[in-house]
Amino acid sequence: MVTAPELPARLAAAMEAGNVSVRRLAVASGVDKMTIQRWRKGRQGGVEVAAVRKVAEELGTSAEELLDLPASSEGPPRPPEPPVELDRLRELAADLDPDTLAVFEETLPALREAVEELRK
């Protein structure tokens, strides 16, 4: 848990900028509505960084930004996700021989699982 004197103002600003209600944010993030309301009103002692991270993700920001913490305080930042260029992938796949394509098709489920684990 961390103290977060800047959280009420920063959270309110991020919610206003995204036109997001407390209820909508609670549903989307999985964080209790009353918890978010206490954060906005400054009625919290310490806050769980993991919960703030869920809310921040839904608001398109970071927990470090909402909590006014240095970026390195919660470990390395996640790299931005590369854009998926589906047309280019289709072109490459069209040039593969059937055996190579079959190997890729077999490995796709494992690759999807790995990507999902990295996103957590």
Residue 95 lies in a domain: yes
Residue 26 near residue 32 (C-beta atoms within 8 A)? yes
Residue 56 sits in a domain of what CATH number? 1.10.260.40
Residue 81 domain flag: no
What span, in angstroms and rounded, lies between the C-alpha atoms of 38 and 44?
A: 6
Range of the domain at 61: 2-67
Q: Are 12 and 54 in a shared domain?
A: yes
Choose between 30 and 90: higher pLDDT: 30
The tally of domains found in the chain comes to: 2
What whole-number distance in Å separates Cα of residue 52 and Cα of residue 101? 42
The yes-or-no verdict on residue 46 having pLDDT over 50 is yes
Reply yes or no on whether the pLDDT at 10 is more than 80: yes
Q: Provide the pLDDT for residue 28.
A: 92
Q: Are residues 91 and 63 in the same domain?
A: no
Gyration radius (Cα) of the chain, Å: 20
- Give mean pLDDT, residues 88-98: 79
